[in-house]
Chains A and B, each alone.
Chain A
């Protein structure tokens, strides 16, 4: 059974710091890995999607990498801002179940001004 783990569970950093969120998965047979942002009491917003054939994706201050062989992904946030405070979730789509996202529990990020 695919398991997705996110470390750390919570992170608090001062404004301006660069930071890395980690995601690991047990089954490397995936179509893609996706990073989402969830604000308190709100739904999820898609941030980045990395196909299994890709190594990384970038959007503004966000950069996500994927190492499928080792079952790891990182989300790098440059020059963090208080507005980045949210829960960040990663999810994978298994080759075995192409219609299903398997989510990690998330990392709660707080950026202090």
Chain B
């Protein structure tokens, strides 16, 4: 049982390049989330999914797209990376919504956009 895994662990992009971050969970969780963490600002929700085939916007969705084609995977895409997207990205999943129970977090992806 690997829990929540994220790929890649670290990536450097040039402004304008695109990339996809992969989150995978093996706990059969319905809910999945993408957060970004910036110094002094805590974690902020980018997008989330309440089940396979569904996605919804969070607090800071601009510049990102997501897809949940399979229940165990949640992909975060950056179509045209900007320096403001330099951050640490965390994926999380849960069996129930946050109102009812805890979330399980992946180890993070550190992204640097030059």
Contact with A along B91-114 (1 / 0, CB 8 A): 010000111111111111000000
* B44 proximity list for chain A (CB < 8 A): 103
Cβ–Cβ contact A100 & B45, under 8 A = yes
Q: How many residue pairs bridge A and B at CB < 8 Å?
A: 62
Summarize B's interface: helix, strand, loop or mixed: loop
- Chain A: how many interface residues by the 8 Å CB criterion? 23
Summarize A's interface: helix, strand, loop or mixed: strand
- Please name 8 further chain A to chain B contacts, defined as beta carbons within 8 Å, in addition to the given A43-B107, A49-B101, A99-B50, sorted by A numbering: A41-B107, A42-B108, A91-B43, A99-B48, A100-B59, A101-B98, A103-B43, A105-B40
Write the residues of chain B forming the contact surface with A, with a CB cutoff of 8 angstroms: 4, 31, 40-45, 48, 50, 56, 58-59, 90, 92, 97-108
